């Protein structure tokens, strides 16, 4: 039975079949067609590219550019397989154009109805149609410099592929994302995108000093650029440029990672990991920053020819690239990352505004209904206590020694960025004031950041100061963990944790960091052991160290709920002002928010 299937005669595949196979690899969805065509326009030196889409790209994809155009002969050749004008001297290591395989046009043409209109300048232009891979007659058209490529009925010739397309909305979204990525990398080119006759993206070229800044503001919501740090760093043959968000401006997914290698958008694991590591101190593992980063590297040191759709690259010296990126980002965050995101205060104000609108109609029982919706009212307050009572206690500072003579005291503190502490609320929040704003500090988050920075400082200087436990703690561990623990015992000791094996399945904790003597040392050791277990795959102890310090700080700093007097509060504010990264705790949550008086006035309709 099986023998029957064996064919004895070998035949060459037809050109159309070869192109369709290749289309299967390179053209997985309409966005991939857009990518190839727009990259061709850029390679042709276009300064204006317009893309029109209908029905998610299934009915129509049209790309119009003002690039160099093609001659009649080149147009004829362009749609043949493996013909390109871009690879000089057959040098695959020195690729300056996006294209070089000469595959895109013939592949797309083999699975659709394609029409190309092209013209090199003032003389006549040429039009060529290809239906399912079969060339029609070429004929002259009126001159109009540039190229228009129209793709109708994509995948009509390969119905199986057609079935795999997602909804029009999803396909449109892929196209929008793609064009945003390409346009960020080409701020000197005007891009516009119309889907079903609607203009969804328009990025004109601006005349200003920093084209990248303008382009990024055009394609992202403007909050990103306002809440980001500029990166610009060079090392040997590499340059890293762009914008990364402040740690407090973070997201639940990595969709806003815009990464480019030699101006090509890539999804490179090495770079993604390097970004994660750089933010490690500032963000919890499930939060992501937004980035628009351009890595420029000598083209001899990177291979972009790894994957047909070319979103992966291969570096000749990955380690150097990785540490360069980590270093550059850390330095940028170090210099400027302490700011907290301005969107937080804005969001807060908007939330309050919404509440206002919601309750405005019930004029009569306004206070009653509002207070019952206030989730943060202390549980001890009786139901008859209304918001006005709360406001009364708000306006009466609970701090000692401030009631009568607060004005002179405030004068002294006027110069401090975080202002003068006025009171503590819910034993969690410190309220302070500056001449133009009210500041709310989350005491727990602030303590956490200060503790973390202190520990890091100690490590960098003389090592973490240790405290011997009066009664050593015994912690149970399993055997494989024991092996790991024994192998990193010395490193743990330098982290302030001295342990010894007690039995084959238990350890004895003898010393803990001095700063943490007041906490539960058994729980502390347990947490760190958990970390060591979950870090199994990682060989980089430094990452573990940072994470462990974060765990120390998060679980063991002074928790909210502690009463502080005004002196202690001010001391905390002053410490925050001189501590790096004090704008957020090491999970990327803000440690304080600033409400500008002018915004508060708006809430009350005073401006």
Using CB under 6 A, list all residues that contact ligand ADP: 36, 40-41, 44, 65, 67-70, 74, 78, 84-86, 99-105, 147
| In the complex, least distance from residue 27 CB atom to Mg ion, rounded to whole angstroms | 12
Q: CB-wise, 34 or 104, nearer to Mg ion?
A: 104
Q: Is 147 in the site for Mg ion (CB under 5 A)?
A: no
Taking CB under 5 A as the binding criterion, the range among 5-13, 100-108, 301-309, 534-542 that sits at the site for Mg ion is 100-108
Q: Which of 381, 411, 383 is nearest to 393 (CA)?
A: 381
Q: CB-wise, 26 or 516, nearer to Mg ion?
A: 26
Q: Beta strands of 44-171 (E only): which ranges?
A: 48-54, 60-65, 113-119, 125-131, 134-141, 146-152
Residue 65 near which of ligand ADP, Mg ion, none (CB within 5-8 Å, type-dependent): ligand ADP
Query: How many Cα atoms within 13 Å fall on the side-chain side of residue 555?
Result: 17
Q: CB-wise, 57 or 513, nearer to ligand ADP?
A: 57
What are 144's two structure tokens?
């109009």
Q: Is 187 in the site for Mg ion (CB under 5 A)?
A: no
Q: CB-wise, 97 or 367, nearer to ligand ADP?
A: 97
Q: Is 557 in the site for Mg ion (CB under 5 A)?
A: no
Q: CB-wise, 107 or 591, nearer to ligand ADP?
A: 107
Query: How many Cα atoms within 13 Å fall on the side-chain side of residue 355?
Result: 17
Q: CB-wise, 263 or 348, nearer to ligand ADP?
A: 263
Residue 369 near which of Mg ion, ligand ADP, none (CB within 5-8 Å, type-dependent): none
Number of amino acids touching Mg ion (CB under 5 A): 3
Q: How many CB atoms lie within 10 A of CB 562?
A: 13
Residue 70 near which of ligand ADP, Mg ion, none (CB within 5-8 Å, type-dependent): ligand ADP
Residue 101 near which of ligand ADP, Mg ion, none (CB within 5-8 Å, type-dependent): ligand ADP
| In the complex, least distance from residue 110 CB atom to ligand ADP, rounded to whole angstroms | 12
What are 262's two structure tokens?
């030699």
Instruction: Out of 69, 99, 106, 187, name the contact with Mg ion by CB under 5 A.
Output: 99
| In the complex, least distance from residue 39 CB atom to ligand ADP, rounded to whole angstroms | 7
Q: Which of 448, 447, 444, 416 is nearest to 432 (CA)?
A: 416
Q: CB-wise, 98 or 294, nearer to Mg ion?
A: 98
Residue 189 near which of ligand ADP, Mg ion, none (CB within 5-8 Å, type-dependent): none
Taking CB under 5 A as the binding criterion, the range among 91-99, 375-383, 502-510, 593-601 that sits at the site for Mg ion is 91-99
Instruction: Out of 104, 148, 176, 179, name the contact with Mg ion by CB under 5 A.
Output: 104
Contact 417, 394 (CB under 8 A): no
Residue 343 near which of ligand ADP, Mg ion, none (CB within 5-8 Å, type-dependent): none
Q: Give the whole-angstrom CA distance, residue 480 versus residue 408.
A: 63
Q: Which residue's beta carbon is nearest to the bound ligand ADP?
A: 99
Q: Beta strands of 267-346 (E only): which ranges?
A: 288-289, 291-297, 302-303, 314-315
| In the complex, least distance from residue 72 CB atom to ligand ADP, rounded to whole angstroms | 13
Question: For 320-353, b where at least 16 C-beta lie within 10 A, e where not — what string?
Answer: bbbebbbebbbebbeeebbbbbbbbbbeebeeee
Question: Among residue numbers 16 through 55, which ones bind Mg ion (CB under 5 A)?
Answer: 40
Contact 181, 193 (CB under 8 A): no
Sequence-ordered list of residues with C-beta below 8 angstroms from that of 318, at least 6 positions apart, any chain:
270
Scan for tokens 């170090």, then name that residue. 334
Q: Which residue's beta carbon is nearest to the bound Mg ion?
A: 99
Scan for tokens 């290809």, then name that residue. 130
Q: CB-wise, 178 or 544, nearer to ligand ADP?
A: 178
Beta bridge partners, 50, equal: 64, 192
Phi and psi of 315, rounded to 5°?
A: -95, 145
Beta bridge partners, 63, equal: 51, 149
| In the complex, least distance from residue 44 CB atom to ligand ADP, rounded to whole angstroms | 3
Residue 559 DSSP symbol:
P
Contact 361, 379 (CB under 8 A): no
Q: Give the whole-angstrom CA distance, residue 108 versus residue 231.
A: 39
Q: CB-wise, 148 or 515, nearer to ligand ADP?
A: 148
Chain residues that interact with Mg ion, rule: CB under 5 A:
40, 99, 104
């Amino acid at each position: 039975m099986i023998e029957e299937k064996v064919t004895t005669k070998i035949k060459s595949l037809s050109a159309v079949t070869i192109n369709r196979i290749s289309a299967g690899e390179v053209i997985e969805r309409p966005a991939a067609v857009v990518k190839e065509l727009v990259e061709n326009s850029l390679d042709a030196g276009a300064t204006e590219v317009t893309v029109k889409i209908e029905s998610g790209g299934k009915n129509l994809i049209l790309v119009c550019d003002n690039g160099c155009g093609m001659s009649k002969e080149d147009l004829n050749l362009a749609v043949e397989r493996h013909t390109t004008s871009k690879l000089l001297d057959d040098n695959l290591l020195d690729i300056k154009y996006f294209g070089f395989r000469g595959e895109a046009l013939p592949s797309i043409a083999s699975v659709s109805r394609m029409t190309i209109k092209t013209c090199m300048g003032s003389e006549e232009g040429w039009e060529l149609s290809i239906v399912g891979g079969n060339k029609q007659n070429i004929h002259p058209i009126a001159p109009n410099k540039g190229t228009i490529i129209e793709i109708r009925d994509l995948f009509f010739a390969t119905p199986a592929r057609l079935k795999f397309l997602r909804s029009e909305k999803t396909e449109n979204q892929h196209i929008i994302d793609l064009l945003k990525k390409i346009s960020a990398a080409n701020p000197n080119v005007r891009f516009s995108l119309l889907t079903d006759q609607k203009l969804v993206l328009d990025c004109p070229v601006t005349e200003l000093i920093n084209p990248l800044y303008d382009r990024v503001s055009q394609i992202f919501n403007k909050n990103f650029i306002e809440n980001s740090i500029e990166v610009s760093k060079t090392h040997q043959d590499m340059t890293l440029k762009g914008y990364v968000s402040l740690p407090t401006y973070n997201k639940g997914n990595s969709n806003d990672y815009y990464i480019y290698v030699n101006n090509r958008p890539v999804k490179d694991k090495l770079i993604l990991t390097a970004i994660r590591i750089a933010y490690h101190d500032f963000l919890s593992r499930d939060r992501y920053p937004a980035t628009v980063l351009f890595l420029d590297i000598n083209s001899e040191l990177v291979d972009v020819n790894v994957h047909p759709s070319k979103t992966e690259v291969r570096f000749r010296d990955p380690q150097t690239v990785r540490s360069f990126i980590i270093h550059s980002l850390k330095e940028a965050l170090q210099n400027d990352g302490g700011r907290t995101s301005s969107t937080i205060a804005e969001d807060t104000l908007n939330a309050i505004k919404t509440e206002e609108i919601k309750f405005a109609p019930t004029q009569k029982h306004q206070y009653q209904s509002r207070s019952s919706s206030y989730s943060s009212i202390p549980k001890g307050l009786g139901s008859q206590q209304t918001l006005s009572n709360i406001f009364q206690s708000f306006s009466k500072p609970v701090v000692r020694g401030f009631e009568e003579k607060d004005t002179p005291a405030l004068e002294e503190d006027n110069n401090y960025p975080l202002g003068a502490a006025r009171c503590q609320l819910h034993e969690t929040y410190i309220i302070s004031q500056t001449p133009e704003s009210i500041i709310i500090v989350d005491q727990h988050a602030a303590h956490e950041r200060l503790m973390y920075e202190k520990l890091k400082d100690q490590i960098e200087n003389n090592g973490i100061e240790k405290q011997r436990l009066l009664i050593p703690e015994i912690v149970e561990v399993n055997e494989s963990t024991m092996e790991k623990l024994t192998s990193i015992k010395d490193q743990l000791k330098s982290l302030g944790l001295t342990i010894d094996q007690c039995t084959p399945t238990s350890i004895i904790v003898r010393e803990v960091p001095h700063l943490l003597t007041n906490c539960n040392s058994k729980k502390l050791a347990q947490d760190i052991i958990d970390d060591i277990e979950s870090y199994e795959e990682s060989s980089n102890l430094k990452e573990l160290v940072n994470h462990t310090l974060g765990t120390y700080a998060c679980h063991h700093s002074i928790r909210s709920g502690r009463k502080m007097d005004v002196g202690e509060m001010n001391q905390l504010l002053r410490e925050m002002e001189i501590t790096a990264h004090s704008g957020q705790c090491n999970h990327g949550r803000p440690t304080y928010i600033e409400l500008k008086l002018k915004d508060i006035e708006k809430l009350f309709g005073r401006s």
